[in-house]
């Protein structure tokens, strides 16, 4: 991560968005990214079109949204909303992201459970499930590609996968077992790098 | 009891909220284990169907929670489950966002991201695997999942037409 420059430099002097603008932007974002690709859209709208964040802050906010618990998109909306309008901004952005999709999904659940899905719909759903499996696996593979030169990271990927799939461990157990050694390895790496003054 | 259902939903998804490191798909295996295996809120087939619907729908990736909540306790259940899934993690995000802006580049910040990344990747891969297991695919279903994985991984195509196309192939009896 580059160490030059300060984090407090706001992006491009764009005026801070209002609560209404935050709600509307995330509402738009959530609807155009139907079926996925929200991150790419978020960068385009927030960095390129609106200039609310610069690329450096966008990337660090995204990393934070990914690392912390919760849906990545929700965490990102909260970060951006909070950045400009505090708690109310976080709520406005989160509502913009969630409100319309929530209504759509509840309507779909009503059709599925109360109206009874026809066999044809079941068949179509099985096809969609195959694609949705692909979407989840591809997300894991894309995120995992960056670790291909880190044997320790690959080992932790394999252990987390095996713990869930082969041992059927509940998530808290997987995290409790793997997070401390993973942090230890990462902490040593960061300090070695700092100590020697040269990257690996 | 209806109130008991709401409490059960809120307490389970409120806990999952804090545990969903790496995105809400990382808790899908735990969600299936509890909602299908322990509580019998819905069948494994329904769970896989809802997962597919929630992935195809717009919005944050955790909307399957609203659908499970709806199945258990109607609209109130959907609201309770979704709010429980979003609020604890959301409040944590607010707190950490403040700290984060003043500590960018510090050692613990870099080490924490480095440590949790690979674990999250393993969990996300496992989530796809679990859904495939629960769906009861034929060989052609697994083949379709593999092809879709390659398409989404290696290309930048919009996933929606591919999801729709796979739905069409399923409807035509080919998957």
Query: Domain residues for B123?
Result: 2-136
pLDDT for position A197? 46
Looking at every residue in chain B, the average pLDDT score rounds to 87
Segment A33-44, tens digit of pLDDT: 654 556 667 777
Q: Is residue B28 part of a domain?
A: yes
Q: Is residue B69 part of a domain?
A: yes
Q: Is residue B74 part of a domain?
A: yes
B153 at interface of A, judged by CB pairs closer than 8 A: yes
Q: Which residues of chain A make contact with B110, given a CB cutoff of 8 A?
A: 1, 186, 190
- Over residues A2-20, the mean pLDDT reads 59
- Over residues A136-163, the mean pLDDT reads 85
Segment B114-142, tens digit of pLDDT: 787 787 778 778 878 887 887 778 899 99
How many structural domains comprise chain B?
1
Answer whether B68's CB lies under 8 Å from B41's CB: yes
Q: Is residue B165 part of a domain?
A: no
Q: Is the confidence at residue A9, as pLDDT, over 80?
A: no
pLDDT for position A140? 78
What is the percentage of chain A residues whose pLDDT exceeds 90?
30
**Distance separating alpha carbons of residues A74 and A56, to the nearest angstrom:** 20
ipTM confidence score? 0.71
Contact B122 A168 (CB under 8 A): no
Q: Which residues of chain A make contact with B70, given a CB cutoff of 8 A?
A: 106, 109-110, 113
Count of CB atoms situated within 10 Å of the CB of B130: 25
**Distance separating alpha carbons of residues B174 and B41, to the nearest angstrom:** 30
pLDDT for position A33? 65
pLDDT for position B81? 97
- Closest approach of chain A CAs to the CA of B145, in angstroms? 4
Position with higher pLDDT, A39 vs B86: B86
Q: Is residue B43 part of a domain?
A: yes
- Over residues A2-19, the mean pLDDT reads 57
Chain A residue with minimal CA distance to B150? A138
Q: Is residue B113 part of a domain?
A: yes
**Distance separating alpha carbons of residues B52 and A191, to the nearest angstrom:** 43
What is the percentage of chain A residues whose pLDDT exceeds 70?
78
Contact B57 A106 (CB under 8 A): no
Q: Is the confidence at residue A5, as pLDDT, over 90?
A: no
Q: Is residue B71 part of a domain?
A: yes
Q: Is residue B168 part of a domain?
A: no
């Amino acid at each position: 991560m580059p160490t030059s420059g300060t984090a407090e430099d706001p992006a491009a002097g764009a005026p801070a968005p209002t609560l209404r603008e935050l709600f509307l932007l995330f509402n738009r974002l959530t609807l155009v990214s139907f079926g996925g690709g929200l991150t790419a859209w978020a960068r385009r709208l927030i960095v390129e079109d609106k200039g609310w964040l610069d690329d450096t802050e966008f990337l660090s906010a995204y990393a934070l949204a990914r690392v912390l618990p919760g849906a990545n998109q929700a965490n990102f909306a909260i970060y951006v909303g909070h950045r400009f309008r505090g708690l109310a901004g976080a709520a406005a952005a989160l509502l913009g992201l969630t409100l319309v999709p929530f209504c759509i999904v509840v309507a779909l659940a009503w059709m599925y459970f109360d109206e009874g899905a026809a066999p044809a719909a079941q068949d179509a759903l099985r096809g969609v499930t195959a694609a949705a499996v692909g979407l989840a696996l591809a997300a894991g593979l894309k995120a995992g590609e960056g670790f291909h030169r880190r044997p320790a990271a690959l080992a932790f990927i394999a252990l987390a996968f095996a713990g869930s799939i082969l041992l059927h461990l509940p998530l808290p157990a997987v995290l409790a077992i793997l997070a401390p050694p993973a942090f230890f390895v990462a902490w040593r790496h960061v300090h070695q790098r700092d100590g020697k003054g040269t990257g690996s | 009891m209806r109130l008991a259902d709401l409490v059960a939903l809120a307490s389970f998804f409120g806990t999952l909220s804090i545990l969903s490191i790496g995105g809400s798909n990382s808790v899908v295996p735990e969600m299936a284990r509890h909602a299908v295996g322990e509580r019998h809120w819905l069948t494994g087939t329904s769970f896989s169907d809802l997962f597919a619907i929630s992935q195809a729908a717009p919005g944050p990736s955790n909307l399957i929670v609203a659908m499970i909540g709806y199945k258990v306790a109607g609209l109130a259940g959907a609201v309770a489950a979704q709010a429980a899934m979003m609020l604890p993690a959301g409040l944590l995000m607010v707190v950490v966002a403040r700290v984060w802006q003043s500590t960018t580049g510090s050692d613990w910040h870099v080490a924490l991201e480095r440590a949790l990344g690979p674990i999250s990747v393993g969990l996300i891969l496992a989530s796809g695997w679990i859904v495939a297991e629960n769906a009861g695919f034929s060989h052609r279903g697994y083949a379709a999942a593999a092809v879709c994985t390659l398409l989404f991984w290696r290309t930048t195509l919009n996933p929606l037409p591919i999801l729709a196309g796979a739905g069409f192939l399923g409807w035509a009896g080919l998957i």
